[in-house]
Homo-oligomer: A and B are copies of this chain.
Amino acid sequence: MAKNDDGSPVRFGIMGCAVIARKLAAAIAVAPSAALVAVASRSIDKAQQFAVRNNLSKEVKLYGSYEELLEDPSVDAVYLPLPTSLHVRWVTAAAEKGKHVLLEKPTALDAKMLDEMLHACEANRVQFMDASMWYHHPRTLRMKGFVSNREKFGEIKSIHSSSSFHGSPNFLKNDIRVKAELDGLGALGDTGWYCIGAILWAMDQKLPTTVRALPAAIKNDAGVILSCRGSMNWGEEGTVATFHCSFVAHATQDLVVCGSKATIHVEDFIIPFDDRRGVFRSTIGAEFLELHVGWSVKGEEVVVGNEMVQEGLMVEELSRLVKGVRDGGVEPDLKWGRTAMATQLVLDAVRVSIDGGYQPVHMYN
């Protein structure tokens, strides 16, 4: 059963059969260090439908409740694509059963809830990671090397990010992401999670000094955010950033990081246009030609191939960490919990700012 020599694979259970779970089932299938061993839904029928639809091996155990899956000693790690409002309950339960956790974003309705989950993971010595797959694409690592190179890139001056899609009438009426009782953060928690994450990624997870939402956020009748914007800054002369996230605008996934000496532009930072390669444009040391009739250099396309889809790379990275804990006596890596917490804290600040009429929210962390 082992797909490589580096110990037996990490055995995953999927808790919840949301559409997005199909993507993770496929990712686990391609990740050499992972194996899918169980699927649970609230009914055995749904679990069976999921198994058929995804061509799962007969060896994958199917459960009609999440509790049963968590009792299964053959499960090392669980993936939770459940609605955000259920995260605390099920992450805590999983951690207490010693299961490592891959959690769909947004991680929580607020940072306090995430804190509870992270402490449950720590207390039970299980690895935590949220399912922000784009961090694991080799393009992301290449971009990070570029923006972190102070000599070539200079100081980071400004960042702008957007993430949007135009939800269908059915989506805007029925999707869990527009339901107050399920995913109350709406577009801020869904597409905004990536925008905020990308800004913090560029800033090495350093929290801004001030966050504010910008008018006018759009909410549905239940008060769920369908579109909003935020602004951040780091001190009086430091980096500035803005983002826009929406369920009612055409598809965008823009990230622009502008340093004092160079820039990167990417238009598909979350889901690359092509699943086998990622592209970004870097521009270094551009000046305007004499009489301003052109630029001294044009942006250059950097192409970064990926042998495995980014979700597979994410599962592989989590599996590597889980193996360290399971087989090597290593402590769980707190990095991914901290990354999620930084995003959650800024997200909370944006929400507080919206609720307070777009007032600035100062951060003290």
CB within 8 Å of B: which residues of A? 20, 22-23, 26, 154, 157-158, 160, 162, 164-166, 210, 212, 214-216, 218, 227, 229, 231, 233, 235-238, 240, 242, 244, 246, 248-252, 254, 256, 258-263, 265, 267-268, 271-275, 281, 283, 285-288, 291-295, 298-299, 309, 358, 360
A240 with B216: in contact, given A160-B160, A251-B288 (CB under 8 Å)?
Answer: yes
Closest Cβ of chain B: how far from A220's Cβ, in Å? 11
Q: 10 extra interchain contacts, Cβ-Cβ under 8 A, other than A214-B231, A215-B231, A275-B293?
A: A23-B291, A157-B164, A158-B229, A158-B246, A162-B258, A166-B260, A166-B261, A251-B283, A251-B288, A274-B294
CB closest residue in chain B, given A256: B254
**Pairwise interchain contact B293-A309, C-beta atoms closer than 8 A:** yes
Contact B227 A157 (CB under 8 A): yes
Are A294 and B267 CB-contacts (below 8 A) given A249-B259, A251-B283? no
On whether A271 and B248 interact (CB within 8 A), knowing A233-B216, A242-B214, the answer reads no
Question: Which applies to chain A's interface (DSSP): helix, strand, loop or mixed?
Answer: strand
Most buried by B among A249, A261, A265, A360: A249
A183 to chain B, nearest CB (A): 17
Which residues of the partner chain B approach A233 to less than 8 Å between Cβ atoms?
214-216
Can you name 21 A-B residue pairings with CB atoms under 8 Å? A22-B291, A157-B246, A158-B249, A160-B244, A165-B287, A165-B288, A166-B261, A214-B242, A216-B235, A216-B236, A216-B237, A216-B240, A229-B240, A229-B242, A250-B259, A252-B256, A265-B267, A271-B295, A272-B294, A273-B295, A358-B360
Q: Name the B residues within 8 Å of A214 (CB-CB).
A: 212, 214, 231, 233, 240, 242
Determine whether the beta carbon of A251 is less than 8 Å from that of B294.
no
In the complex formed, the residue of B with least CB distance to A254 is: B256
User: Who on chain B is nearest to A276 by CB?
Assistant: B294
Q: Give the distance to chain B from A47, nearest Cβ to Cβ, in Å.
A: 19
Taking CB atoms, residues of chain B closer than 8 Å to A291 are 22-23, 26
Q: A214 vs B158: C-alpha distance in the bound complex, in angstroms?
A: 12
- Chain B residue numbers with a CB within 8 Å of A262 are 250
A158 and B154 form a contact (CB under 8 A): no
Question: What B residues does A244 contact at CB under 8 A?
Answer: 158, 160, 240, 242, 258
